[in-house]
Amino acid sequence: MSLIGEGRLLIATHNKGKLAEFRQLLEPAGITVLGAADVGLPEPEETEATFAGNAALKAEAAARALGLPALADDSGVAVDALGGDPGIYSARWAGPSKDFAVAMGRVLDLLAEGGHTAPAERRAAFIAVLALARPGEETLFFEGRTDGVIADAPRGVHGFGYDPIFIPDDGDGRTFGEMTAAEKHGESAPLSHRARALAAFAEAIDLER
């Protein structure tokens, strides 16, 4: 666990859903997770053009501010028929109020307007890139990806963000919104993009999960 020192890790996010997922995945391994809001860190503007760039921006700002290792992610859903949108703009499509019902509605409306009704025309991927920043050290990156399709309508009440409209290829036909956290994050074969990125992170820091 040398990459994160004393087992304390700052998660540079103000997103409560993301922070909950990180805690579910890391705290059982003995890592104390701190959120950006817990320590009064502001949320920097995401000005980069890639998931990796935005993740690094957030992690490095937090590590500089507190002198602690900081992990940040940038993630989103990229829909093939929409040219990869919303992609890095996934959170922004939800607006200032973070209303993901609006964001999901926009995705579904655009697919309908384009006549993309067949599953083969609704291909998408959830992508997460984690950046681990440590004071005075090189930033490390870990990526997770889950391919799937966009459902015809939101289904399920679990998870957050676009989960209710995303059906992973490796699943059983349910959306992420219809799965429990344990089903999404399954230890032996994680389904979620964030869990897959965290699995790569866990391997890099030799974390027993």
CB 130 within 8 A of CB 141: yes
Residue 86: is the preceding peptide bond cis (ω within 30°)?
yes
| CA distance linking residue 172 with residue 129, whole number of Å | 25
Residue 187's H or E segment, with its range, is none
Q: Which position among 74, 109, 147, 170 bears the catalytic label?
A: 74
Read off the DSSP letter of residue 118: S
Annotated catalytic, 85?
no
Strand order in the sheet with 70-79: 32-35, 8-11, 70-79, 123-133, 140-150, 166-168
CB 90 within 8 A of CB 77: yes
Q: Would you tell me how many other CB atoms lie within 10 Å of the CB of residue 19?
A: 18
| CA distance linking residue 126 with residue 169, whole number of Å | 11
**Closest to 104 measured CA to CA, from 94, 115, 114:** 94
Active-site residues, by number, are: 74
